[in-house]
Structure 1
Amino acid sequence: MLSLTHAAIRGSFINASRREIREATLPELTTISWDDTDFLGWRDRKKDNTGYVVIEIDGTPVGVRFTTAERKGPRRRALCAWCQDVVVEDDVAMYVARRAGAPGRKGDSIGTLICSDFGCNANVRRKPTLTEVGSGAEEDRIALIQRRIDGLRLRSDDFVRRVLATR
């Protein structure tokens, strides 16, 4: 992913009001390894039920504002729809995004299960277990990690394109 500035992030949102964009708490950008980032995702420190994702679509950053319900009751196991990591036991939350444009202004939204802390970038790059790879060959391990990365990019891109769709 291309490195982003705070101005580029604020200008990328497709489903947030000007007030929501202005009030968004942005992440610290100096600590991000952009080469290992397929999407930039973070939770708002001031609003615990709000999260943000910025991905690159056709070379342009596109930002989505999410909300999530407060968790009540016991934790349930779920699979992140984006990284689909079955080994990492990170918490997963149902994130809902208002659609862009007129559909979003009418209240239309879509949701998906994503790692609560948006840790998918690290999850797809973790060293796979021998069971996952099926062999001890280094080239098989590298190929599996690349398939995970490609899958994350495909699934996150597809979701953001659905937020953009106006029909």
Structure 2
Amino acid sequence: MRAITESDIRTSFVNCSKGEAKRLGLPKDLDEQPWEELDFLGWRDPGAPERTYLVSERDGRLVGIALRVTSGGGRGFTSRSMCSLCLTTRTGGGVALMAARRTGEAGRLGNTVGQYLCSDLHCSLYVRGTKESVAGGGLEESLSLEEKVTRLHANLNAFLDRITQ
């Protein structure tokens, strides 16, 4: 992913108002992101941890989505969950159900799309092995890094399609 600015981020959102995009909390370390290792920028709002955001490049433009971490019956510390984007298994709340309001009329009617995602949205780093999952005993894969990244992009694009269609 190319390095992006605060202005790039705020103008990229497709499922929230311009006012909401203007008020959302940005990552404090925006200038220090490992851009060359990111397939998308994802973060939790520093002032409202139940709010998360994801910005991705699609067809030469940025697409940002606002998500909410759903609160539900938490799973036990030893229970494993799998992120639907990077297919990383995590324990102890490392994967959370996040819901995004759909765009257009469906969104105005309150329709959302939910997906299980890494709680920290560091999927790109888990796929590349830059950041280790704490689940231990994860799945061994025979896919190359390029194949894992391609799968991550396909899963992300399918998720974004569900939100924007």
Identical positions, percent: 33
Separation in structure 1 between the aligned mates of residue 110 and residue 75 of structure 2, nearest angstrom? 30
Task: Give the aligned partner of residue 83 of structure 1.
Answer: 86
Task: Give the aligned partner of residue 99 of structure 1.
Answer: 102
* Residue 154 of structure 1 pairs with residue 154 of structure 2: yes
Q: 1:40-91 CA distances to partner (integer Å, 9 max, x unpaired)?
A: 00000111110000011101110000001235444342110000024x5470
Number of residue-to-residue matches in the alignment = 155
Q: 1:79-114 CA distances to partner (integer Å, 9 max, x unpaired)?
A: 10000024x547000000000111101111111000
Separation in structure 2 between the aligned mates of residue 33 and residue 155 of structure 1, nearest angstrom? 21
Task: Give the aligned partner of residue 21 of structure 2.
Answer: 21
Task: Give the aligned partner of residue 140 of structure 2.
Answer: 132
Separation in structure 1 between the aligned mates of residue 141 and residue 163 of structure 2, nearest angstrom? 34
Task: Give the aligned partner of residue 59 of structure 2.
Answer: 58
Q: Which amino acid aligns with 1:124?
A: V
The SS at the match of 2:121 is: coil
The SS at the match of 1:63 is: strand
The SS at the match of 1:49 is: strand
Separation in structure 2 between the aligned mates of residue 74 and residue 133 of structure 1, nearest angstrom? 26
For structure 2, the 5+ residue unaligned runs are none
State the TM-score, normalizing by the size of structure 1.
0.84
Task: Give the aligned partner of residue 3 of structure 2.
Answer: 3
Contact 1:55–1:157 (Cα < 8 Å) also in 2: no
* 1:161 positional shift: 1.8
The SS at the match of 1:97 is: strand
For structure 1, the 5+ residue unaligned runs are 135-142
Q: Which amino acid aligns with 1:110?
A: V
Q: 1:133 to 1:84 in 2, by over 3 A?
A: closer
Q: Which amino acid aligns with 2:53?
A: Y
State the TM-score, normalizing by the size of structure 2.
0.85
